Chains A and B, each alone.
Chain A
């Protein structure tokens, strides 16, 4: 299936259109909110919340017997929120550190959820099949109503973000200071956290409990590499998330037996990988290149400064000197000398070198700067 054909299919095929739209919206909203989780250093909170949502799904099914996603996700929301506030309670009331609290709640809720799932599966009820899709997600089960739900929540989330942008930003940067300005930081905090929980719950059907946290973190981590502005970061994270959804769906739809959720997560991870290597300011590649270039420049400057020290005692600045007197200086190599020649700072004549006018000028300024800095 070629690309054009696939794009046509996205617009004509009901299922494919629903899934593509759903995963795109999901990716955008989790990317946006994920930025806040990442900047608050609460990356693991997402993982804990998604796992904590599982027993809620099971209990909602046991209570109502219903299988429609809205009922089950409401259960997930309640138990996700419960888990979150439990974690915060543990952190503030006991001596336990946040990673311990997260780990405890994550495994406790997930364990309880699994217990309930196995219990449900043993029941003589034809309705029980399909609950395990919430473990790893099954995008194919998305309905148009689910997508509408996602779109509405995303809309509300966007509105809240725009309204409370200033409050969110200052709380993320400096919570104590925010308090002294008279803002109720608890309200801002609960608002952010609740929306993070909501976004995670929305994604459970598509990506599943186990992989959901990477939807939250990957687009945000990738976006952070490309910008130093919070608004651009949130925007980029939304774009990366949405594209992960669209690409992931496309890859899994064009191959047999590739489930959508994991593919989306892998695509999002590729965004992260590429960003970490190729981002111009923070990326590993350009950092390394800058580092090497810097070392070479310094080596060159050191050699120039050394040469200047020799030359300055002579009346004639272009007086030739033997190359071998440079040998006891460690910064000097044949290639640095070549580079000085190519920059027209130095001329070579046999085994002798001499400064050009320009080279002398550069070297003397360099030298002055260095002594200035030392003072």
Chain B
């Protein structure tokens, strides 16, 4: 089966000061995969996502989405930032945050209306947060906040989803709920790219994986490349992981 390339990264290099955080990354992500980006702390996993999305300005390199520059294809891409990146004491409700997912397609000045509200409610339903729609966001648990962020991305109805550690600090039931949604997205032909920390769950959750540690170590199907050799190359220690068949 020959898949289209959803995301193509060429020669991407990013530095904050002098030392590069990402060095010369070439990456092709085929359409319809559920991919984990793994690597130690400081490997540049979040930076990679942020650079692809244009939040950070790379020193060199280019990103294309379905063979067009990212800037032209923005509406095909949705982003779920790290939960800790915003102030949850902001005066707004769960529904309101999810509605923000519609702002991009609305463009400047135009306000969200009934149609957008309906879409947001549907997304809340999908993540099981409909009963909490009018809850002030600071009154939500960490797992619920993560679901809200996921719902906000779902509203965008994108083809490609980038998620920055969506399983961090969430309870077990939320983790299962989220992974089920991600698998449903893959089933619908979407491409999902997730920065992931828990190596034990990689074979269970994902079908594609990228090993990253400033440089790209390896990328490909989990069943082919998720092995001790690549783990050791990435983490620098003799890493033994039992791969579940």
Beyond A166-B112, A176-B81, A181-B103, is A230–B91 a contact (Cβ under 8 Å)?
Answer: yes
A169-183 CB contacts (< 8 Å) to partner B: 169-170, 172-174, 176-183
B92 at the interface (CB under 8 A from A): yes
Q: In the assembled complex, how far is the CB of residue B239 from the closest CB belonging to chain A, in whole angstroms?
A: 32
B90 at the interface (CB under 8 A from A): yes
CB-defined contacts of A172 to chain B, threshold 8 Å: 90
Beyond A39-B90, A182-B75, A228-B91, is A167–B108 a contact (Cβ under 8 Å)?
Answer: yes
Is the Cβ of A233 less than 8 Å from the Cβ of B100? no
Task: Look across to chain B and name the residue whose beta carbon is closest to the beta carbon of A281.
Answer: B136
Q: Which of B54, B55, B86, B136 is in CB contact (< 8 Å) with A228?
A: B136
A328 at the interface (CB under 8 A from B): no
B50 at the interface (CB under 8 A from A): yes
B 66-104 binary contact with A (CB < 8 Å = 1; else 0) = 000000001101110100011100111100010010011
Chain B interface category by residue count? 20 to 34
Is the Cβ of B53 less than 8 Å from the Cβ of A180? yes
Task: Look across to chain B and name the residue whose beta carbon is closest to the beta carbon of A228.
Answer: B136
CB-defined contacts of B93 to chain A, threshold 8 Å: 228-229
A 20-64 binary contact with B (CB < 8 Å = 1; else 0) = 000000000000000000010100000000000000000000000
B217 at the interface (CB under 8 A from A): no
Give the size of the chain A interface in residues (CB under 8 angstroms).
27
Beyond A181-B104, A182-B104, is A164–B109 a contact (Cβ under 8 Å)?
Answer: yes
Task: Look across to chain B and name the residue whose beta carbon is closest to the beta carbon of A233.
Answer: B91
CA separation between A176 and B49, bound complex, in Å?
12
Is the Cβ of B75 less than 8 Å from the Cβ of A228? no
Is the Cβ of A182 less than 8 Å from the Cβ of B81? no
A227 at the interface (CB under 8 A from B): yes
CB-defined contacts of A126 to chain B, threshold 8 Å: none
Q: In the assembled complex, how far is the CB of residue B89 from the closest CB belonging to chain A, in whole angstroms?
A: 9
Beyond A170-B100, A170-B103, A180-B74, is A229–B92 a contact (Cβ under 8 Å)?
Answer: yes
Task: Look across to chain B and name the residue whose beta carbon is closest to the beta carbon of A172.
Answer: B90
Is the Cβ of A166 less than 8 Å from the Cβ of B91? no
CB-defined contacts of B60 to chain A, threshold 8 Å: none
B 105-137 binary contact with A (CB < 8 Å = 1; else 0) = 011111110000000000000000000000010
CA separation between A232 and B91, bound complex, in Å?
9
CB-defined contacts of A163 to chain B, threshold 8 Å: 109
A219-256 CB contacts (< 8 Å) to partner B: 224, 227-230, 232-233
Q: In the assembled complex, how far is the CB of residue B122 from the closest CB belonging to chain A, in whole angstroms?
A: 19
7 shortest A-B CB distances, which residue pairs? A181-B104, A228-B136, A180-B79, A182-B74, A180-B53, A176-B55, A174-B86
23 contacts between A and B (CB under 8 A): A41-B87, A163-B109, A166-B110, A169-B92, A170-B100, A173-B86, A173-B100, A174-B86, A177-B79, A177-B152, A178-B103, A179-B55, A180-B54, A180-B78, A181-B74, A183-B104, A183-B108, A227-B91, A228-B92, A228-B93, A229-B91, A229-B93, A233-B91
Q: Give chain A's interface residues, CB within 8 Å of chain B.
A: 39, 41, 163-167, 169-170, 172-174, 176-183, 224, 227-230, 232-233
